[in-house]
Structure 1
């Protein structure tokens, strides 16, 4: 018996995942008549975390739909900002340390594994803590046990921050989290933290913050201007997105 043939139209923003010969966005595929549409999409190299709506002959279907012969499938990208079923909390794999620190700088809850603990452990933590798994590893994002996931498209930290903030629009609260451990910062008097400071630092600065979890101390040091620029850009982008949303027709 001849296998069913379906016709797929892939949204432009998803074509980057496809093999170079298929990046025109259109593909006629033979299926086995048993596999789900979600499996078919993943076989094209597209993580389901990046898929928003699946349409079959113009009607929305779930990833578990089993395609029939001659069905026309449209694979659309995720909505931006992407709604989440809970607070915007993230988990980043070992390759995204700079992104984790920048998200924390902006007050975003960003857990980070600085050791390669393996995909099963990362997926289990995502599920247990209900965190969005951020990764450039498509195999990790295909694990069914993750709570939610998102592919980080760029390898450049500046672009990574824009991508995550644009996709999920988490509330920003700069200078409230420890960039080392993700704990919350508290204002600290110089006397409280003097044993953690060098003499030059004690003479030059009077305003400090300390992490309630790991004890790391922060002050406006030599790198503060660069960090201020990162924060200012993120806040401008956030305001721009909010303004665009307010102007768009409902």
Structure 2
């Protein structure tokens, strides 16, 4: 096995993934002459889901490129908006992103979510089977080869998480069309059709209802509607 030394520069947007000493500037890195550039980048801690162009000595190369002695590598972030070819844009979120899942559904974005921890292999398999973009803050999960597509969620705050995903993927927004509980599509419903889910005050105060075609959950403009309207209004103002 022949060792070689290359020089790697990681874009500032990806700096959080690498050791502090490598976050700024160009740094030497020993390679074995066999491993692909994709493997080398992952060994630095950067998930390939977050990598856009890989530029070697001024030319763009695939992740399968095997770096050679003296090459200078620039690792760029994914271009935005990111296009996911080959299937309608749909998401799958892991157990830690429940609030983000509900907000995406509120905006009418097709969003599957596992409310229990089913394990990384099952999540990756579902991403592949349903051709959904897997969203997670788990870097190890995003490195699994079987996922169809994935993206790291950079923030821990729901507001910032939502803005980041809308900015990165530019999904079509159709607010108030999906069930925030199960992702099913909503249909207009009469008061009589949802009467079994209404308490006395709701029966008297509201006349406009919707019902999920999948789980049957009823919806109306209740006490939290103003807060939800604000979330929708901000998203439409910036990303519609």
Distance, in Å, in 1 between the alignment partners of 2:57 and 2:145 is 27
- Residue of structure 2 in register with 1:246 after alignment: none
Residues 53-132 of structure 1: matches in 2 within 5 Å? 53-85=53-85, 86-132=87-133
Distance, in Å, in 1 between the alignment partners of 2:146 and 2:138 is 15
- Residue of structure 2 in register with 1:180 after alignment: 181
Q: Any conservation in 2 of the 1:188–1:209 contact (CA below 8 Å)?
A: yes
What SS does the corresponding residue of 1:161 show, helix, strand or coil? Answer: helix
Distance, in Å, in 2 between the alignment partners of 1:92 and 1:27 is 35
Q: How many residues are aligned here?
A: 239
Q: Any conservation in 1 of the 2:9–2:73 contact (CA below 8 Å)?
A: yes
- Residue of structure 1 in register with 2:18 after alignment: 18
Shift of 1:26: 2.3
Return the TM-score normalized by structure 2: 0.98
Structure 1 segments unaligned to the other structure (5+ residues): 240-250
Q: Any conservation in 2 of the 1:99–1:161 contact (CA below 8 Å)?
A: yes
Q: Structure 1, residues 41-75: CA drift from partner, whole Å, max 9, x if none?
A: 01111000000011111111111111000011111
Distance, in Å, in 1 between the alignment partners of 2:67 and 2:193 is 65
- Residue of structure 1 in register with 2:199 after alignment: 198
Distance, in Å, in 2 between the alignment partners of 1:27 and 1:132 is 32
Distance, in Å, in 2 between the alignment partners of 1:83 and 1:5 is 34
What SS does the corresponding residue of 2:192 show, helix, strand or coil? Answer: helix
Shift of 1:25: 4.0
- Residue of structure 2 in register with 1:145 after alignment: 146
Runs in 1 of length 4+ with deviation above 6 angstroms? none
Distance, in Å, in 2 between the alignment partners of 1:204 and 1:27 is 66
Distance, in Å, in 2 between the alignment partners of 1:2 and 1:125 is 40
What SS does the corresponding residue of 1:191 show, helix, strand or coil? Answer: coil
Distance, in Å, in 1 between the alignment partners of 2:3 and 2:102 is 50
Structure 2 segments unaligned to the other structure (5+ residues): none
Q: Any conservation in 2 of the 1:12–1:25 contact (CA below 8 Å)?
A: no
- Residue of structure 2 in register with 1:224 after alignment: 225
- Residue of structure 1 in register with 2:42 after alignment: 42
Distance, in Å, in 1 between the alignment partners of 2:203 and 2:32 is 70
Instruction: Give the alignment's Cα RMSD to 1 decimal.
Output: 0.9
